[in-house]
Amino acid sequence: MRWWYGAGWQWAVQRAIVERLQWCNETFSITALIRTFFSPFKQTDNTQGGSVDVRIHAFLDNVVSRFVGMFARGFIIFTGVVAGLVAFISGVAFVALWPLAPFAIPISLGLMVLGVGK
């Protein structure tokens, strides 16, 4: 009981909240995606010289590539933020229920004896 309500509580917070948020940040790389939000998705043509027609074509390719990149990165950032919120909320719920866990077995046995759930 001493560990459960002392060091165990710190362990629960570390595992349920901190490590889950770190996992979300590493999985979705939200900071890297924000840094490169306006970068092109994939450069297909890197023509810098040539006629006006070639330059316009390269410019339009670059603009379309940037919009595709923004859309893809925006979707992943949104998904990562939602996953982080879910991880945080479920972690807080886990930590809130942590002190009650040792009583789960006696309570469930008592409910079984009373016939709850038949």
Does residue 21 contact residue 30 with C-beta atoms inside 8 Å?
A: no
pTM of the model: 0.72
For CA atoms 106, 108, 109, 111, give the dihedral sign: positive
What range does the domain containing 13 cover?
2-114
Chain-wide mean pLDDT for the chain? 86
Mean of the pLDDT values across residues 8-36?
90
Mean of the pLDDT values across residues 16-31?
91
d(CA 41, CA 71): 9
Mean of the pLDDT values across residues 55-62?
83
Detail the DSSP E strand segments found in 8-86.
none
Other beta carbons within 10 angstroms of residue 25's beta carbon come to 16
The number of residues in the chain equals 118
Q: pLDDT tens digits for 86-116? A: 999 999 999 988 888 888 899 999 999 998 8
User: Structural domain tally of the chain?
Assistant: 1
Q: pLDDT tens digits for 35-58? A: 988 887 776 666 666 788 888 888
